[in-house]
A and B are shown apart, each in its own frame.
Chain A
Amino acid sequence: MVKRFFHRTSAFRPSPFERTLSYLVLGFWSLVVLFPLYWLLVTSFKLPIDVNTGPKYIPFVDFQPSLHAWRYIFVDVWNDTARPYANTVIVGITSSVLALALGASASYALVRFEYRPRLGIIGLFIGCVLLAIVFVRMGVSWPLATVVAIALFLLLAQTIGRRFRRALANNDIAFWMISQRILPPVAVVIPVYILFQQLHLLDTRIALIVTYLAVNLPIVVWLLRDYFQSIPIELEECAAIDGASRLRIFWAIVLPLSVPGLVATFLFVLVFAWNEYLLALFLSSANAQTMPLTVAAQNATRGPQWWYMSVLILIMILPVIVAAIVLERFIARGLLVGAIKG
Chain B
Amino acid sequence: MFFSIFPLVVSLYLSFARVRFARGGVEVQFVGLANYHKLLFGSEQAHLLGVLASPSPLGWLVFLALLAGTVFLLVNYARSTGRTALGLVLRTAFAVLFLALAWLAVSTLNRDGRPGTLMVTLVYVYVGIACQYLIGLGLALLTAQDLPGRRFFRVAFMLPMMITPVGVAYMFRMLADTGRGPFAPIWQAMGLGDFSWVNDPWGARAAVLIGDIWQWTPFMFIVLLAAIEGQAQEPIEAAVVDGASRWQIFRHITLPQILPVSTALILIRMIEAYKIIDLPNVLTNGGPGTATESLTLHAFIAWRTLDIGSSAAIAYLLMVLVTVMSVAFVQFVRRRTTEIV
Contact = CB atoms under 8 A, between A and B. Distances in A.
Interface of A: 8-14, 19, 22-23, 25-26, 29-30, 32-37, 39-40, 43, 51-55, 57, 125-126, 129-130, 133, 137, 179-192, 194-195, 210, 214, 271, 274-275, 277-278, 291-292, 295-296, 298-299, 304, 306, 309, 313, 316-317, 320-321, 324-325, 328, 331-336, 339-340, 342
Contact of B157 (A30, A179, A181, A334): A30
Interface of B: 3-11, 13-14, 26, 28, 135, 138-139, 142-147, 151, 153-167, 170-175, 179-185, 214, 222-223, 225-227, 229-230, 233, 236-237, 240, 246, 260-261, 264, 271, 274-275, 277-278, 282, 295-296, 299-300, 303, 308, 311-312, 314-316, 318-319, 322-323, 326, 338
Given A182-B322, A313-B167, 13 more contacts: A11-B237, A19-B147, A22-B147, A23-B147, A29-B135, A57-B182, A137-B28, A181-B271, A190-B10, A194-B26, A275-B163, A332-B229, A342-B260
A339 B5 contact: no
Please list the 7 inter-chain residue pairs (A to B) with the smallest Cβ-Cβ separation, ordered nearest first: A187-B315, A342-B260, A191-B10, A275-B164, A336-B230, A191-B7, A335-B226
Contacts, number: 237
A298 B166 CA distance: 11
B144 A55 contact: no
Contact of A295 (B5, B28, B166): B166
Contacts of A331: 222, 226
A129 B271 CA distance: 27
A214 B179 contact: no
B271 A11 contact: no
A20 B133 CA distance: 24
B180 A54 contact: yes
B10 A14 contact: no
14 contacts: A11-B237, A30-B157, A39-B174, A51-B180, A55-B181, A55-B184, A125-B5, A186-B315, A189-B303, A190-B312, A278-B296, A278-B300, A325-B155, A336-B226
Contact of B230 (A51, A298, A339): A339
Contacts of A309: 167, 170
Contact of B158 (A14, A23, A328): A328
Given A19-B147, A54-B180, A292-B164, A133 B278 contact: no
Given A9-B146, A191-B7, A335-B222, A182 B326 contact: yes
B118 to A, nearest CB: 13
Given A40-B171, A133-B9, A295-B164, A184 B145 contact: no
Contacts of A181: 271
Contacts of A188: 7-8, 11
A285 B293 CA distance: 25
Contacts of A316: 164, 167
B16 to A, nearest CB: 12
Identify the interface centre among A291, A309, A332, A342: most chain B CB within 10 Å of its CB. Answer: A342
Nearest to B210: A32
B311 A190 contact: yes
Given A137-B28, A292-B166, A342-B264, A33 B227 contact: no
A43 B180 CA distance: 12
A292 B278 CA distance: 10
A136 to B, nearest CB: 10
Given A11-B237, A32-B214, A186-B311, A39 B155 contact: no
